[in-house]
Structure 1
Amino acid sequence: MALAACTNGGSPATSASWVPPASGPSSAAAPAPDQTRAAMRAKHGIPDFADAPSPEPITLAGGDSVEYLHRIPTTQKVAFLTIDDGYLKLPEAQELIAAAGVPVTLFLTTDAVKDDPDYFKPMVDAGAVIESHTISHPNMRGKSFEFQKRQICGSADKLEQWYTRRPTLFRPPYGNKDDNTLRAAKSCGMTAAFMWTETVHKGKVRYQGPKGVKPGDIILMHFREAFRADFVNALKAIHRAGLTPALLEDYMPRPA
């Protein structure tokens, strides 16, 4: 894949503030009316959540690098579900995200998406927000600043072209980064870069510390064969903790 031109700033990103998907007529993959959505949640065992609190944006340090966050420092009863890559495009992923009616952040790799960018549009219609995960999913640690800048800016350029909104958040592949990564992300217009607190794989939530999702935790899963089990069990873990899914973008500092 040819690298997209790096525009550093791009056009201004539209607001990513999450709004629940509207009810009404839709295609099979688009958000369903309320009764149908409730039936779909029951079918898949997706829990119902209380409304998320009004978000309290965090403060980030300035400088020529973005901060690298494993979690959001908040006491609000929220957690954040993130889904990476985009290589496997199962129809049930569209259905589950529409049925759940909760905010999710998709960190997409453009080489994974380029064969069918339209696949992710119903997820955006259902409230998902798409962010940058590089062009080709390299291990960024140890690479030159210019290489990393091309990967991040090029990804943001292409995702903006496909989905009309320019990403403002970045996740390095494998969670691997160095100082060049964080400087390159800042130069490409990113607000912050993200690791994670919990992972989900083959339906099992894996905790780095004591079991249980805590306020501000960031959960990582992928577009894989076990998507249904991963997605539902991630939401159940959030629900058991008495938390509500929230959108990462809503907790970033407001533009001046």
Structure 2
Amino acid sequence: MFRTAAAGTLLAVLAGCGSSGAHPAGGPETPPPPSTAPAADPSAPASAPGASGVPGFGIAGSGTPESVTAALAALPENLRKRVPQFPPAPLPVKVSLPPATDGKAAFFSRIPTTEKIAFITIDDGWEKNPLALQLFQAANVPQSLFLEVNAIKDNPGFFLPLQTAGATIENHTITHATMTRLSLEGQKREICGGADKLAAYYGTRPTLFRPPGGSWNNNTLRAAHACGMKAVFTWTQTTDHGKLFYQNEEKVIYPGDIILMHFRPRFVDDYLAVLKAIHKNGLTPARLEDYIP
């Protein structure tokens, strides 16, 4: 119901990041030019005071009406009306994970739920758009950032304030290597190394993993488990150049769908397109981490 092989193939071409259903072996994406955003101190603490820019923000959805209004007012005028407002997400019902003795991390392309929620996930980290923080604050919803170490190492501090505005940092390897082209040990080096480096940057070790290009196999699940990852995620819909690409013929975001976007040059248009699509389908963004035991 949620995807077909043809839709998955189309999505792989459009997104440049592979398809979740067929375990593709596509190569890494070509990185855009280095960001012009000012570099931050890589050793900065993960809870830098005043990092949110607008007071009144803690975890996503906790922004006060005044702080959300201030964040909206801080956006350029042409963007303000494009940021929908959402009701609070319902209390999460956690999914089941395989027993530890199984030796594999869980795998999800969507969260099995009937609640009216969807999940925003953002990959890589090459493009560090200065409007990201204001957009996160104005939307006041959670998002999971699956960061690639090589993409963020020029300015890891850029992502610190995003955490105060509802973002959770998760693991997307060191080099964006295609997992199915690596041995079990090679996958461990990418996954464990990525998690360790992100922990050093942000103070908390990731527990969720997204394989680059959506390419994974049983060794990926074993390596992820060995590296302390609870679950491996692909996606159900994706976004690029301000347009949503669906993996279902109905062109609908269903409850529990995981939407993929990237830190790319069209980040603002992509993020607003995701918000619009979720809102249009009568859903609310929820925190992916809240559904994992």
Question: If the TM-score is normalised by the length of the shorter chain, which range does it land in?
Answer: 0.7 to 0.9
- Which amino acid in structure 1 is aligned with residue 283 of structure 2? L
Where do 1:1-256 residues align within 5 Å? 18-22=59-63, 33-40=67-74, 43=80, 45-62=82-99, 63-209=102-248, 210-253=250-293
Provide structure 2 residue ranges, at least 5 long, that are not aligned to the other structure.
1-57
Deviation at 1:106, TM superposition (A): 0.1
d(CA) in 2 for partners of 1:188 and 1:18?
Answer: 26
Deviation at 1:66, TM superposition (A): 1.1
Deviation at 1:71, TM superposition (A): 0.2
Deviation at 1:34, TM superposition (A): 3.1
Provide structure 1 residue ranges, at least 5 long, that are not aligned to the other structure.
1-16, 25-31
CA contact (8 A) 1:82 1:107 kept: yes
Distance 1:44 1:226, change over 3 A: farther
d(CA) in 1 for partners of 2:126 and 2:62?
Answer: 25
Q: TM-score, normalised by structure 1?
A: 0.86
Distance 1:127 1:133, change over 3 A: same
- Secondary structure of residue in 2 paired with 1:141: helix
Deviation at 1:19, TM superposition (A): 4.5
- Secondary structure of residue in 1 paired with 2:245: strand
- Secondary structure of residue in 1 paired with 2:181: coil
In angstroms, what is the RMSD of aligned CA positions? 1.8
CA contact (8 A) 2:60 2:140 kept: no
CA contact (8 A) 1:68 1:192 kept: yes
Deviation at 1:142, TM superposition (A): 3.1
d(CA) in 1 for partners of 2:286 and 2:179?
Answer: 28
d(CA) in 2 for partners of 1:18 and 1:77?
Answer: 20
CA contact (8 A) 2:196 2:205 kept: yes
CA contact (8 A) 1:52 1:244 kept: yes
Deviation at 1:21, TM superposition (A): 4.6
Q: TM-score, normalised by structure 2?
A: 0.75
CA contact (8 A) 2:69 2:138 kept: no
d(CA) in 1 for partners of 2:63 and 2:270?
Answer: 25
- Secondary structure of residue in 2 paired with 1:72: coil
Deviation at 1:23, TM superposition (A): 5.0
d(CA) in 2 for partners of 1:19 and 1:237?
Answer: 19
CA contact (8 A) 1:44 1:232 kept: no
Deviation at 1:70, TM superposition (A): 0.7
* 1:71-125 CA distance string (max 9 Å, x none): 0001111000000000111111222122211000000000111110100011001
Match of 1:4 in 2: none
CA contact (8 A) 1:65 1:185 kept: yes
* 1:168-199 CA distance string (max 9 Å, x none): 00000000011111100000111100010000
- Which amino acid in structure 2 is aligned with residue 165 of structure 1? T
d(CA) in 1 for partners of 2:60 and 2:136?
Answer: 14
CA contact (8 A) 2:68 2:138 kept: no
- Secondary structure of residue in 1 paired with 2:161: helix
Distance 1:48 1:18, change over 3 A: same
d(CA) in 2 for partners of 1:68 and 1:35?
Answer: 38
d(CA) in 1 for partners of 2:262 and 2:197?
Answer: 20
CA contact (8 A) 1:18 1:250 kept: no
Percent of aligned positions with the same letter in both sequences?
Answer: 50
